[in-house]
Amino acid sequence: MNEAEAIKRDGEYPLYDAVKDLTKDKLESIVRKNAAEKNFPVKDEHIKVIYTLVEHYKQACASEDCLAAHEHMRYLENEFADKGGSKYLICCLMACRTARACYPLSTN
């Protein structure tokens, strides 16, 4: 049993419970506040990826705990396949706009 399994109680799904009541506006507010505290410039692409993942958690994690991160990464890769999949996600979330392999992100 790993640590995450050890903290789960019967009938609880910690990941789902953490996001189930988040609205898009509340999520964006939290993300922007946290990013500002770390001097990280948040772009619309960041918000879109995070929102997509949270909405996925709300659907996929409502009836089972979602501890396996690779399943969520595959979901995101598929959702953003038209933009380059994992390459786009790496560039977006790691903010490596200057790297040759990265796609340009908007200036918003």
What type of residue is 52?
A: T
Question: Is the distance from CB of 62 to CB of 17 less than 8 angstroms?
Answer: no
Binning the chain into helix, strand and coil, the percentages to the nearest 5 are 60, 0, 40
| Listed range (2-11, 73-82, 91-100) with the worst mean pLDDT | 2-11
Give pLDDT, residue 63: 75
**Burial (Cβ within 10 Å: 0-12, 13-18, ≥19) of residue 64:** exposed
Whole-model pTM? 0.68
Q: What confidence tens digit (pLDDT) does each residue in 21-77 have?
A: 999 999 999 999 998 998 888 888 889 999 998 998 888 887 776 776 778 888 889
Tokens of 16: 């789902």
**Burial (Cβ within 10 Å: 0-12, 13-18, ≥19) of residue 91:** buried
